[in-house]
Amino acid sequence: MQTHDAECLHFHDITHAVSALGDGPLTENALRSHIHPLFSRVMERQEIYLSNHSLGRPLDRVSDDVARFASLWQRDMDSAWGAWLAEIHAFRAMLARVIGVSSPDAVVPKTSAGQGLRAVLNALPPSRSGGPHQIVATRAEFDSIDFILKTYQTKGHVEIRWVETRDGLVHEDDVIRAIGSRTDLVVVSHVVFATGQLLDRVGDIVSAAHAAGALCLVDMYHSAGVVPLDMQSMGADFAIGGSYKYFRGGPGAGWLAIHPRHLATEQPTLRTLDTGWFAKKDTFGFARTETPLLASGGDAWMECTPSPISAYQANAGIALVLALGVDRLRAYSIVQQSFLASDLAEFGVPVRLIEPRGAFLLVPSRDAARLTAELKQAGLSTDARGAHVRLCPDILNTRADLRQASQTIARVRSTTGL
Ligand SMILES: Cc1ncc(COP(=O)(O)O)c(C=O)c1O
């Protein structure tokens, strides 16, 4: 498949708009002239949107892309599969570039990040303890991950050694100390969902897992598309993530990435129970060998009939991230976060700035959920986790937005006492 050409042609409007920005750092003026027009529909909303870490704002063209999926179906019926599979291939190829894996097949579409975790749990080789698999995970993993692990534990499939946070933070050395000679799998987030803490020593955790003979899965939901990533040099065996935040691709377009070192052989040692006919060698040959024969490489991790519409929904946003470049997005996010932090401080709003962190910052509150609801009434979209309101500016927020948001937060805090 001529993916690269297909990507370029397919996302011509995006590459054209981004090339008008020039090669230098992103600036508000240039973004307003060339990129904001690609979002005219969502920009009509009458509120300041700082929930970009929760549900990313979609490009206008997402409606057309999803309609394209449907018109191919109506026009071509079963001949639509060629275009549909090409779209799925583009999804895998673009994400592989964003997270730094060498081959597109290393990225496997999933409906959610949690589905990716389950595929890994269902692929672990026999446990080293002889009993349930021994997992090390932190208390700071996202609810979906936490819930799946606890469910596996309740069923007796795994035993979990939980690493507690201290001062609300994950300490890499605590995770490393929890890894033992019987650990089978370590599960850790690269950026913590509740606080935005970036584990810049996640590579040390991966190395410690490997030194102990364990595998390591890194949840990249809050780091992919936000911080420059190179999964292969990080060494993680698995990564999970999805599209509905920073890739602006809506729900349903999650992914699991497998380090190419586990994909080298035709009948690999790691094979998952989460399988189906798209993981078969020669899916459309319809051969039924008594021993299941797997496709080569990452395709062995595919499962049943995949969902093309998720790729149509997500690909434009991923193409935009690639075209803008994660380096430039990261630099711009840091500048915006520092503007926001200083505006908040100027208006007397307390800010918790965790260093290093991902794309959002925190405002502590004695009732963060209620404060969020009050802010929504006042025309500012945010959300809350625990004792903090999370605020995430992005390329569609202007400097004026950030100032107005800070003023609104100060006013609402003083009128409500929250
Ligand atoms: C760190 C992290 N992982 C995973 C998810 C989503 O998990 P799932 O796709 O299984 O619902 C989120 C969503 O907020 C998240 O923040």
Q: What pLDDT is stored for residue 62 in this prediction?
A: 98
Q: What pLDDT is stored for residue 21 in this prediction?
A: 98
Mutate to test the pocket of ligand 1, among 221, 227, 385 (most ligand atoms within 8 A of CB): 221
Give the tens place of pLDDT for each residue, 36-74: 999 999 999 999 999 999 999 999 999 999 999 999 999
Give the tens place of pLDDT for each residue, 227-250: 999 999 999 999 999 999 999 999
Q: Tally DSSP H helices, then E strands, for the chain.
A: 15, 12
Q: What pLDDT is stored for residue 176 in this prediction?
A: 98
Q: Using N-to-C axis directions, what is the helix angle for 308-324 and 326-346, rounded to 10°?
A: 80
pLDDT average, residue stretch 252-257: 98
Atom of ligand 1 nearest to the CA of 54: 14
Q: Is the CB of 301 under 6 A from ligand 1?
A: no
Q: How far is the CA of 56 from the centre of ligand 1 (A)?
A: 13
Q: Is the pLDDT of residue 5 over 50?
A: no
Strands 215-219 and 238-241: parallel
Q: What pLDDT is stored for residue 265 in this prediction?
A: 72
Give φ, ψ of 119 to 5 degrees.
-60, -35
Q: Is the pLDDT of residue 1 over 70?
A: no
pLDDT average, residue stretch 191-196: 98
Which residue ranges form the domains of the chain, and what is each CATH number?
Answer: 82-320 (3.40.640.10), 326-416 (3.90.1150.10)
pLDDT average, residue stretch 327-356: 98
Q: Give CA separation, 1 vs 6, 76, 86, 98, 137, in Å.
A: 8, 20, 7, 19, 39
Q: What pLDDT is stored for residue 66 in this prediction?
A: 98
Q: What pLDDT is stored for residue 267 in this prediction?
A: 66
Q: Is the CB of 222 under 6 A from ligand 1?
A: yes
Q: Is the CB of 333 under 6 A from ligand 1?
A: no
Q: What pLDDT is stored for residue 9 in this prediction?
A: 58
Q: How far is the CA of 191 from the centre of ligand 1 (A)?
A: 11
Give the tens place of pLDDT for each residue, 130-174: 999 999 999 999 999 999 999 999 999 999 999 999 999 999 999
Give the tens place of pLDDT for each residue, 105-134: 999 999 999 999 999 999 999 999 999 999
Q: How far is the CA of 142 from the centre of ligand 1 (A)?
A: 6
Q: Is the CB of 113 under 6 A from ligand 1?
A: yes
**What rounded mean pLDDT belongs to the chain?**
96
Q: Is the pLDDT of residue 7 over 80?
A: no
pLDDT average, residue stretch 371-395: 98
Q: Is the CB of 360 under 6 A from ligand 1?
A: no
Closest by CA to 197, choosing from 49, 335, 341, 362, is 362
Query: Hunting for tokens 């996302």 — which residue is that?
Result: 11
Question: Which comes out higher in pLDDT, residue 265 or 291?
Answer: 291
